Structure 1
Amino acid sequence: MHTLTSRCSLTFTSIFIVALAASSCSIRAEEAQPLKVAIVGLEHGHVEGFLGQLPKHSDVQLVGIADADTALWQKYGKKYSLADTLFYKSEANMIERTRPQAVLVYTSIGEHRHAIEIAAQYGVSAMVEKPLTISLEDALAIRRVAREHKIHVLVNYETTWYPSNRAAYDEVRERRIGEIRRVVVHDGHQGPKEIGVPPEFLNWLTDPEQNGAGALYDFGCYGVDLMTWLMQGETPQTVTAVVNRDKPQLYPKVDDDSTIVLQYPHAQAVIMGSWNWPFGRKDMEVYGATGYAITVAADKIRIRHEHDAEERTTEAPPLPDRERDSLAYLSAVLRGQIVPKGDLSALDTNVIVMQILDAARESARTGHSVKLSKLGD
């Protein structure tokens, strides 16, 4: 009897090991398959960043592009040697024919909700260019549809992939500079027309119905996203915003300069998004109770701690491979290797970002601070 029991136990163990090995092989095979993605919209100039990045990602396959404008098909098809068979006029038709695992949305900001809702009907996740959408109402609708259809909705900000921002965050998280007291963020450039953005991009970027605002949304969103991340999703008590129209001859419909002040119980953020900088910039200053961290471009950081005689400038450590850029991150999320919660691209973070941006727009309109409370689930 003892021998029979031993044999049965050995047989069961062998079966378990074989099954486990087969499961591991299956997972590895699945991870080895390229991630199938499709583009929705070609009106957003940032699509060039994706198309330029794609050759570096053998793990990502572009299976379709949906846009009704055939002139844009020709423009991007020629520039990036894209096959004619990739192009579709309808997002729904493109998804039905190509079955992507995720869509990358490069429409106007005002079209984000619509593009996500179409993808959700097919159970397809989405990554949109910043910000998430144009209003809190749209953001809450996107959250509902994402939950209902069990899809991921992610937001891509260029600054998410800056090692310098992660290094500043680590200074806070590891309490090396003490509790946050003040954060100052500068983002923007000389202006979209001045730097020569494509006409299809400029048309909606300067239309408040499609962009939400001007520089307030276009560049204010970076700082709001960073501050929400640094504060671990805490909602500010008040939002105060001031906007200028310094170049009405160029931008008659929207603001071209903005300042947003976020007040927390023991911290404050000043976020300056502008189309009036003398040069492009994306940098952040984080001041704690016992030190500070100031980012320098994408990969350097200036640090001074409580007992340091002077500050030092250092190279920021590289980001993990799964977070080195938007495609690596998207792939890791869809393969279950990263849970997108509370980070810079996560939906929960970006619903709060939209609550703040919506309030900032209202504050700028009325000239009064807007009080906020925590959003319900």
Structure 2
Amino acid sequence: MPRPLLLLLALFFALLASPAARSQTRPVAPLRVGIAGLTHTHVHGILSQAKRGDIVIVGIAEANRELAERFLKQYGLPMSLVYPSLDEMLKKTKPEAVTAFGSIYEHLGVVQACAPRRIHVMVEKPLAVSVDHARQMAALAKQYHIHLLTNYETTWYGSNRQAYQLVDEQHAIGDIRRLVAHDGHQGPKE
């Protein structure tokens, strides 16, 4: 057998034996997610994801019990998930990540509560109400080594993924020279 082929085979088997390769074959435990607030309508996306099995909603911080009851009934989730405050929910459920679906004014407070606990945070767009808030959030994320994400929920649409594959991976059309987007509304009013 030629030497380059032997080296290639040796590398292949070494990679298969590596911990990184083995970890990709193990089942991944569902991500433990907490929800901070239910007032942003994109919360329906995460509530409907609970049935897929790749996440488990461990707690919901929502002071408005009537709103929580309505949404949890709609998605078949127990009211035992609901806590009156973010701090209580974080202490009792210890999520790996928190999704913020409350007022944009609350985003900084969510990051301030989660970052020191090393809990990753996803907030709805826009990230913050001011540059000062955004800078504080970024500093906390950097200091505590957490991921701080802004959810652009249309990026999760299967149709957008398929369009990306057609254009970028399959080269089904030529180079894109211009992109025009039409949004459903002017954004949140707070």
The normalised TM-score by structure 2 is 0.75
Q: 1:134 and 2:129 equivalent?
A: yes
| TM-aligned CA deviation for residue 27 of structure 1 | 6.2
Q: Which runs of 4+ in 1 moved over 4 A?
A: 20-29
Aligned-partner Cα distance in 1 for 2:108–2:19: 41
Gaps of 5+ in 1: 1-16, 193-204, 208-377
Q: Is the 8 A contact 1:146 1:153 kept in 2?
A: yes
| TM-aligned CA deviation for residue 21 of structure 1 | 6.8
SS in 2 for 1:186: coil
For 2:65, the equivalent position in structure 1 comes to: 70
For 1:53, the equivalent position in structure 2 comes to: 49
Q: Is the 8 A contact 1:126 1:152 kept in 2?
A: yes
Structure with the largest fraction of helix: 2
Q: 1:99 and 2:94 equivalent?
A: yes
For 1:282, the equivalent position in structure 2 comes to: none
The normalised TM-score by structure 1 is 0.40
| TM-aligned CA deviation for residue 177 of structure 1 | 2.7
| TM-aligned CA deviation for residue 107 of structure 1 | 0.6
SS in 1 for 2:140: helix
Which structure has the larger Rg over C-alpha atoms? 1
1:16-58: CA deviation from partner (whole Å, max 9, x where unpaired): x9xx5777656654x5211111111011111112212321x21
Aligned-partner Cα distance in 2 for 1:185–1:23: 40
| TM-aligned CA deviation for residue 69 of structure 1 | 1.4
Structure with the largest fraction of strand: 1
1:304-319 equivalences under 5 Å are none
Q: Is the 8 A contact 1:159 1:165 kept in 2?
A: no
SS in 2 for 1:151: coil
Aligned-partner Cα distance in 2 for 1:98–1:144: 25
| TM-aligned CA deviation for residue 206 of structure 1 | 2.9
For 1:108, the equivalent position in structure 2 comes to: 103
1:176-215 equivalences under 5 Å are 176-177=174-175, 183-189=179-185, 205-207=188-190
The one-letter code of the counterpart of 2:101 is Y
| TM-aligned CA deviation for residue 105 of structure 1 | 0.9
SS in 2 for 1:185: coil
| TM-aligned CA deviation for residue 170 of structure 1 | 3.0
For 1:170, the equivalent position in structure 2 comes to: 168
Aligned-partner Cα distance in 1 for 2:105–2:167: 31
Aligned-partner Cα distance in 2 for 1:64–1:154: 19
Name the CA shift for 1:25/1:113 in 2 (closer, same or farther; >3 Å): same
SS in 1 for 2:149: strand
Q: Is the 8 A contact 1:67 1:88 kept in 2?
A: yes
Question: Aligned match of 2:32 in 33, 36, 48?
Answer: 36
Name the CA shift for 1:206/1:130 in 2 (closer, same or farther; >3 Å): closer
Gaps of 5+ in 2: 1-13
Aligned-partner Cα distance in 1 for 2:106–2:121: 13
Name the CA shift for 1:157/1:23 in 2 (closer, same or farther; >3 Å): closer
